[in-house]
Amino acid sequence: MVAAYMLQSLLQDSAQSAAQNALVTPSHPLLASELAATLLQGAITTGLAVLCMHLYTRYRRPWFGWFALAWGIYVLRLLCILNFLFTTSRVWLYWHQVTTGWTALALLWAALVFLRQPQARPRYLLVALFPLLWSFIAIYQLHHFLWAALPAVLFLSGATAWTGWVFWRHHRIVSSPGARLLAIAFFA
């Protein structure tokens, strides 16, 4: 019932936006600068995802695979916000919020795998449903940008800070300059 309602709302919003809006061109200077910044961030993050995937295939360390997945989802997040900026369709804002939550979850899991190498269980995937549900409520029910953006930003920021702490802890234990650099990058 809830899933059917969510799907109906998403499809309805997508159809309305497609009918109302063609492609918005970045004529406004702020939109053009947002586009440039997002493209740069996307290029760097794509490179990071490719690097992590290369390290995973070379060394077979599971955390490299999880970090590759996290950065790949982050790139999808950037593509969603770009589509939202160009079309103003709320369905893209919804998927941006969902991928923000999934990025945070993948980043947390990658750091946890690096720290403790826990056994993955299928029931852990249920947590991935939370961004789907919360984003729907925030975008389509509350109709308030702050309630849509703030929890997602805080969650991703917390996941990033926690990942930085994991690498700082590793640096303190084994005196790794690479871990120290990663910790500083995650804290910055």
The domain segmentation of the chain, as residue ranges, is: 29-114+126-187
| CB-CB contact of 155 with 104 (8 Å) | yes
| 3-state SS, residue 96 | helix
pTM across the whole model: 0.84
pLDDT at 158: 96
- Cα separation, 64 vs 45, in Å, equals 14
pLDDT at 29: 62
Instruction: Select from 92, 118, 100 the least CA-distant residue to 21.
Output: 92
pLDDT at 86: 87
- Cα separation, 113 vs 77, in Å, equals 23
Residue located via tokens 């549900």: 133
pLDDT at 51: 97
- Cα separation, 141 vs 163, in Å, equals 32
Instruction: Select from 75, 71, 93 the least CA-distant residue to 139.
Output: 93
pLDDT at 24: 46
- Cα separation, 107 vs 119, in Å, equals 16
Could you read off the pLDDT tens digit of each residue along the chain, which spans 188 residues?
555 555 556 556 655 554 454 444 555 666 678 888 999 999 999 999 999 999 999 999 999 999 999 999 999 999 999 999 889 899 999 999 999 999 999 999 999 999 998 988 999 999 999 999 999 998 889 877 787 788 889 999 999 999 999 999 999 999 999 999 999 999 98
pLDDT at 27: 58
